[in-house]
Amino acid sequence: MIVKPTRRNVLGLMAVLGASLVIVSAGALALGGVHLRLGEVWSGLLGADLHSEVSIIVRQIRLPRIILAALVGAALAVSGTVLQALLRNPLADPYVLGVSSGAALGAIIALWVGGRLAAASPLMAFGGALVTIAWVYLLGRRGGRLASYTLLLAGVITASFLSAIILFILTLLSTRDVRGIAFWLMGDLSVVTDVQLRILGPAVALAIGAIYFFAKDLNVLLLGEQEAAYLGVNVARVEASTFLLASFLTGMAVSVSGAIGYLGLLVPHLGRMIVGSDHRTLLPTAALGGAIVLVISDTLARTIVSPAELPVGAVTALAGAPVFIYLLRRAAG
């Protein structure tokens, strides 16, 4: 089933996916380590008593976490969609390209140095993501243009190099810091502050909006860079802008949630199965789809082994790694 990218179809699809996101979020709000009846969830969400346990659980624990999952999911899925278009390779993903490792390294350096810098670890994660993507971008350029496979390989090698540095620094850190980072390296949505949500919300929305502006150009880029240039697309400008926006999204996501893998791979792939590869429909589908998938994954992460919690990265990897292998085999065959 491929949805044609008419305005009516796109709006209809967005309405369906938006409604799905609301339904999935409502389900996630009702599920958790503590069993709440639907009426309790409702009164906890809308009731006047902000200090009751039910209200704290629903409004201060579950709701912020669901919003965080939706924002991070949208950011990573759109970032993956853009990277796949730029590299004309369905295996591209912020995790595979080393961007997540760069962000993780930034945060870990902040903790290692300690003091005031430790408090700025989200900022350092964002910096790490930007530096890494710039580095991979420079490595992957051949004659002023992006060379798809060189870039992918540069990303994989950079990721493994950065992971080695992370392991080295972990041996120098105190046990107490390492415990926190170990969770974070596997992707963790359990730590969220209101400030983070207030910054993340508009930042993710703006960046996705800006990327949508390039949707048609990304379609043309799929034909190849030369073909796109013949068709009047300013290839260098489109590539640089979308690359930066994608890394901005990844940096924001990783700085608050750690390295959640495979989402940027899994969701665009599912999206293309539904709407094809026209970015005018694929980008919004990936954004909402990413939000839905990560909200579901995180709900599983916090309920499967309740009252303990799984790192959400373990859940996405369980679903994402087989998809990666499937895509790899299909590309090879």
Partner 1 sequence: MGLIVFSSATPLFPRIITDQTGRRVDVPENPKRIISLAPSITETLYALGLGDRIVGDTEYCDYPPEARLKPHVGALLNPSLEKIVALKPDLVLGIAEANRRETADQLDRLGVPLYGLTAHSVEETLNSIEDLGKVLGRGAQAHELVAGLRRRVDAVKQEVEHAPRPKVLFVVWYRPLITAGPHTFIADAIGIAGGISISDDLAGEWPRLSLEDALHRDPDIILFPKSESFSPSLDEFQQLAGWKDFRAVKDHRMYFVPDTINRPSPRLIDAMEEVARVLHSEQKSTARGPESSR
Packing angle of the helix pair 148-172, 99-113 (nearest 10 deg):
20
Any contact of residue 183 with partner 1 (CB under 8 A)? Answer: yes
Residue 286 structure tokens: 């990936």
| Segment interacting with partner 1 (CB under 8 A) among 80-88, 129-137, 175-183, 251-259 | 175-183
- The residue (of 56 and 223) whose beta carbon lies closer to partner 1 is 56
- Nearest distance from C-beta of residue 293 to partner 1, angstroms: 22
Any contact of residue 199 with partner 1 (CB under 8 A)? Answer: no
Could you give the CA distance from residue 78 to residue 208 in angstroms, rounded to a whole number? 7
Any contact of residue 43 with partner 1 (CB under 8 A)? Answer: no
- Nearest distance from C-beta of residue 248 to partner 1, angstroms: 25
Any contact of residue 302 with partner 1 (CB under 8 A)? Answer: yes
- Nearest distance from C-beta of residue 312 to partner 1, angstroms: 11
Give me the DSSP letters along 224-284. Answer: -HHHHHHTT--HHHHHHHHHHHHHHHHHHHHHHH----SHHHHHHHHHHHHHTT-HHHHHH
- The residue (of 7 and 35) whose beta carbon lies closer to partner 1 is 35
Which residues, at least 6 apart from 150, have a Cβ–Cβ distance to it below 8 Å? 139, 140, 142
Contact of 248 with 127, CB cutoff 8 Å:
no
Site for partner 1 in 49-88 (CB under 8 A): 53, 56-57, 60-62
Any contact of residue 32 with partner 1 (CB under 8 A)? Answer: yes
Residue that the structure tokens 């041996």 belong to: 171
Any contact of residue 223 with partner 1 (CB under 8 A)? Answer: no
Element (H, E) at 1: none
Any contact of residue 179 with partner 1 (CB under 8 A)? Answer: yes
Residue that the structure tokens 């990327």 belong to: 211
Contact positions toward partner 1, by CB under 8 A?
32-34, 53, 56-57, 60-62, 171-172, 174-176, 179-180, 183, 190-191, 193, 302, 306-309
